[in-house]
Amino acid sequence: MSSRLSPAQKVWAIERLRENMTGIENKRFKWHQVVECLGDPQTWMLSLITISSNVPNGAVSSFQSTLIKSFGFDSKTTALLQLPSGVVSITSIIAATYLAGRFNQRGLNICTLLVPGIIGGALMAFLPGHNKIGKLIGNYLTNCIGSSLPLLYSWVAANVAGHTKKVTMNAILLMSFCLGNIIGPLTFRQADQPEFIPAKITIIVTCAFAGFLAMALRGYYVWENTRRDRLADGTHVANEEFLDMTDKENRNFRYKL
């Protein structure tokens, strides 16, 4: 509303937000929305997905050079071999966000990004020590895991309505991201060097757990949408899309998958 758009253009811009029903900014802090957020199953499922998917992300990003060097490369080669990791991360982020926007399927895209993490962790943990290339490929595959974070924020933006509730959910998601990245490096214990097999198995387990939760959350959204369709009576409150109602309060709200 403070932009240089004309009054008519401002109306058009706001009208485009009517369809997603997530509301617009509201300066008034509403405690009941905070309480609802803390009691909403999707809040804690999204939090657990973020924590578990960022345990391997924190581990790999912190110990990238250590892992590559443990495959049998010298220090100079190790430094050079870290470069493709960034390429994998950028490519997976661009591809995942494009596909999520194209097909509107965030949950499936999150699982798709976690599968390479599982495969990568398995290659690093279980390939014989002389197979340097296979282990290196496994390391590169784990860089796809961190690309799920933009999709998680997108899922929150699409499925959490009510300004205060959305702000609270974003804060929980950020804390979950930080917690996962704190736990991740702790899985690399000095007693397990140089192979760090338990840490690599942790990558497999946490990715699988995050993928399972993502599919469970998607199933919950499908169930909730079906239930709301069944109970719908066709009533519509005028401009309810802009009344700062939460996704629980607005029965015409439908969750994005």
In a domain, 257, yes or no: no
pLDDT score of 68: 81
Q: Are 30 and 37 in contact (CB under 8 A)?
A: no
Helices 132-141 and 106-126: crossing angle, nearest 10°?
Answer: 160
Domain residue limits at 86: 43-230
In a domain, 75, yes or no: yes
Q: What angle do CA 10, 11, 14 make, to 5 degrees?
A: 85
pLDDT score of 130: 83
Using one digit for the tens of pLDDT, what is the confidence trace for 207-240?
999 999 999 999 999 999 999 888 877 665 565 6
Q: In CATH, what number is assigned to the domain containing residue 216? A: 1.20.1250.20
In a domain, 250, yes or no: no
pTM of structure: 0.85
| Distance between CA atoms of residues 113 and 96, nearest Å | 8
User: What would the two tokens of residue 175 be?
Assistant: 């804390």
Residue partners of 126: CB distance under 8 A and separation at least 6: none
pLDDT score of 128: 86
pLDDT score of 51: 94
| Distance between CA atoms of residues 128 and 130, nearest Å | 6
Helices (H), the chain: 7-15, 31-39, 41-62, 64-70, 75-81, 83-103, 106-126, 132-141, 148-159, 163-186, 197-231
In a domain, 247, yes or no: no
pLDDT score of 204: 93
- What domain count does the chain have? 1
In a domain, 38, yes or no: no
In a domain, 144, yes or no: yes
Q: What angle do CA 75, 79, 84 make, to 5 degrees?
A: 145
In a domain, 196, yes or no: yes
Q: Are 51 and 183 in contact (CB under 8 A)?
A: yes
In a domain, 73, yes or no: yes
pLDDT score of 34: 92
pLDDT score of 237: 59
Collect the ranges in the chain with pLDDT lower than 50. Answer: none
